[in-house]
Amino acid sequence: MPAISLVICVYRERDLLERLLRESAGCYDDLVVVHDGPDVDGIRKLVEEKGGRFFERPREYQQEPHWPFAWGEAKHDWILRLDSDEFPSTEMKEWLNGFRRGPEPVKNVSGYTCIWPLWDGKRAVTKHWPGGRNFFFNRQRVRFFGMVEQTPVADGIFEAMRLILNHQPPRKSFGICNVLFRKQAYHWRRVIALSLLNPPTQLNCWRWTDPQWPIWWHEIRSRPLLTAFQKVLLVPMWQSREIWRAERKIMPSTVLGSGLHPFLIAITFFFVRIQNRNSES
């Protein structure tokens, strides 16, 4: 029977972490919490009271660089990867407990994805979209490099599940304002741009040995301006179709924000690359 390690990377947000641990109790066999920088909120005590192991890591202002370390500290290969502002639905908890009682999945199954409903700060505004949130995987069947916006890459397949992972931050989780007015988003885009100047193998990696960037990042590196305008035009069209199929809704702010974000990543990389070339000349 496969055992599960719940692995969480967090910066402060003690109340949200407490909710996550309360709502996911009984769904895992091992708990690892990594804190991005010094713990000043008593999170270590909370984690240890729950029987978990707590680690402080250097401040990175994002969680992805910590994932290789955190996964390495887990006792079990099956990793339940949740953020502090998330928690599993009742159906997901039942499925996870059934998974723990069942046989080991076949080796070509690297992990599972779920539905991640949009949240307006007070309630979920979708029920069936977006899907594809990678929440559960076998660490020996995925590869990863620790850059913002990057997710684990499967050796085999990720099975899509109709399970809901609740994502309920104290703010709206989507839309143009998230893209344009969150200082954190600007920091993340610059970190991505700086990372793209070098091979992915220079980042903190988990089983990743390829110096070449995956196609979705290679497009930005090779044609940043063209990719920027393709994304800002095509992503909203694609997402509008997907939302209508899943929800029978029209959500302009959602789709415009989804197109604007990759546009700004590509534009940021374009200017960072120019600055880097000028500094080298």
pLDDT tens digits along 174-184: 888 888 878 88
- Closest-CA residue to 216 (of 204, 201, 231, 229): 231
Cα distance between residue 256 and residue 239, in whole Å = 9
pLDDT the model gives residue 198 = 97
pLDDT the model gives residue 184 = 86
Q: Which segments in the chain show pLDDT lower than 70?
A: none
Cβ-proximal residues to 15 (8 Å cutoff; 6+ apart), any chain:
none
Beta strands in the chain (DSSP E): 4-10, 30-36, 53-57, 78-81, 86-88, 109-115, 133-138, 142-145, 153-154, 157-167, 205-206
Helix axes 224-247, 252-280, angle to 10 degrees: 160
pLDDT the model gives residue 132 = 95
Longest C-alpha distance within the chain, in Å? 61
The DSSP symbol for 172 reads: -
Q: What is the pLDDT of residues 123-163, one digit of tens each?
A: 999 999 999 999 999 999 999 999 999 999 999 999 999 99
Cα distance between residue 266 and residue 272, in whole Å = 10
Q: Which two tokens stand for residue 88?
A: 């599993």
Where do you find CATH 3.90.550.10 in the chain?
Answer: 4-167
Cα distance between residue 245 and residue 258, in whole Å = 17
pLDDT the model gives residue 45 = 97
Contact 18, 8 (CB under 8 A): no
What is the distance in angstroms between the CA of the first residue and the CA of the last residue of the chain? 59
Cα distance between residue 134 and residue 81, in whole Å = 8
CATH topology classification for 4-167:
Spore Coat Polysaccharide Biosynthesis Protein SpsA; Chain A (3.90.550)
Query: What is the residue whose two structure tokens read 């974000």?
Result: 261
3-state secondary structure (DSSP) of residue 119: strand
pLDDT the model gives residue 1 = 84
